[in-house]
């Protein structure tokens, strides 16, 4: 489904983090709807490198791009030489900046700031030189434990990841105020789920993780009190809608991207069992993240609706139902073959 009136055919588009979850979905959106667009994917593909918490430094995976016909470049956004080559080699019309150290449990503050904050400003300078509109991934983590509904201007980050995203938003505000001649839009994603997230491993959504537990015949494991742990879960297609609508002229600013409705982890497990036709119950485990955990998120999307003409299309029931065939495919082709 096309989400706005812009014709991206014959435009040149850069997607950083394009082998990741949201970036790869964007790449295929343009390929499907605007085959004459030149789409350049830049990603720091995964290697054996891990963070101190044991998680992979990069979640980019080639399988997210199987069938992609555009340009694929392996590179790190911290590498100024790569950015310089992109500046010389191409003339971008739009930049979708999805690359980041996105692991909220990572403790490497230096790497987080360098990658998420400093490299973003370098990329913003490239966008200004090219006259390319910038649409970048911010995060609901900027709010920390701020009360719901979370509203732009009421930030209280509880970890370095949330802090880094808030610093990106602050940099953007400075450039917007200066009037640099391009549109700059930050999208604060809430809990995104859907196809092409599987290779995020342990940081993939509980939707796919619970789904695979159920398919294995296991009772889904939820934290104690999961019926009272509420999050704003948004299906990937609505996130793509927000990115595309952010390309319209005069949209500069920071906007929440959620459904505006809080749902529980218990809801996820129950919907999955209904769709997968199982009745395995629920196994509750202690929550080890008490004190560093958001127990209620709900996006205030009033400005997103008004300024971006954003209309969430998927209730959780509809999103999970749409996702079920991919959850089953992944289980059969990726989980069972390990």
pLDDT digits (tens, 9 = 90+) for 288-330: 766 656 789 999 999 999 999 999 999 999 999 999 999 999 9
Residue 110 is classified by DSSP as: H
Question: For residue 91, which phi and psi values (nearest 5 degrees)?
Answer: -130, 95
Q: What is the pLDDT of residues 32-69, one digit of tens each?
A: 999 999 999 999 998 888 888 777 788 999 999 999 99
* Domain ranges, ordered by start, for the chain: 12-335
> Both tokens of residue 96?
């979708």
Cis bond leading into 149, ω under 30°?
yes
- Could you please report the per-residue DSSP string of 266-294? HHHHHHHHHHTT-----EEE--TTTTS--
Give 296's strand partners.
Answer: 230
Q: Which CATH class is domain 12-335?
A: alpha beta
Q: Distance (Å, rounded) from C-alpha 123 to C-alpha 97?
A: 8
Q: What is the residue-averaged pLDDT of the chain? A: 94
User: Which residues participate in catalysis according to the annotation?
Assistant: 161, 200
* Residues 6 or more apart whose Cβ sits within 8 Å of residue 116: 100, 101, 161, 164, 165, 167, 168
Q: At what angle do helices 119-130 and 160-178 cross, to 10 degrees?
A: 30
């Amino acid at each position: 489904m096309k989400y706005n009136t812009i014709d991206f055919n014959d435009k040149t588009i850069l997607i950083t983090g394009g082998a990741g979850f949201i970036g790869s979905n964007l790449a295929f959106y343009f390929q499907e709807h605007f085959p004459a667009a030149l789409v350049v994917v830049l990603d720091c593909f995964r290697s054996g490198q891990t963070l101190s918490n044991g998680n992979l430094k990069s979640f980019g995976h080639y399988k997210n791009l199987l069938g992609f016909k555009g340009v694929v470049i392996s590179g790190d956004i911290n590498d100024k030489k790569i950015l310089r080559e992109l500046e010389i080699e191409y003339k971008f019309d739009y930049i979708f900046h999805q690359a980041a150290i996105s692991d909220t449990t990572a403790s490497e503050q230096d790497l987080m700031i360098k990658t998420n904050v400093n490299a973003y400003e370098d990329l913003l300078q490239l966008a200004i030189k090219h006259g390319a509109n910038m649409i970048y991934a911010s995060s609901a983590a900027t709010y920390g434990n701020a009360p719901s509904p979370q509203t732009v201007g009421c930030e209280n980050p509880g970890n370095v990841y949330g802090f880094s995203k808030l610093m990106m938003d602050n940099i953007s505000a400075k450039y917007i105020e200066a009037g640099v001649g391009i549109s700059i839009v930050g999208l604060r994603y809430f809990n995104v789920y859907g196809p092409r997230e599987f290779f995020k491993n342990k940081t993939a959504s509980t939707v796919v993780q619970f789904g695979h537990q159920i398919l294995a015949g296991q009772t889904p494991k939820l934290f104690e009190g999961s019926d009272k742990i509420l999050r704003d879960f948004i299906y990937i297609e609505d996130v793509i809608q927000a990115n595309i609508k952010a390309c319209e002229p005069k949209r500069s600013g920071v906007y929440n991207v959620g459904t505006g409705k809080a749902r529980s982890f218990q809801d996820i497990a129950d919907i999955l069992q209904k769709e997968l036709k199982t009745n395995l119950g629920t196994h509750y485990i202690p929550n080890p993240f008490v004190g560093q955990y958001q127990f209620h998120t709900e996006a205030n999307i009033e400005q997103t609706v008004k300024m971006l003409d954003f209309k969430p299309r998927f209730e959780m029931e509809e999103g999970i139902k749409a996702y079920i065939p991919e959850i089953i495919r992944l289980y059969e082709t990726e989980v069972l073959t390990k």
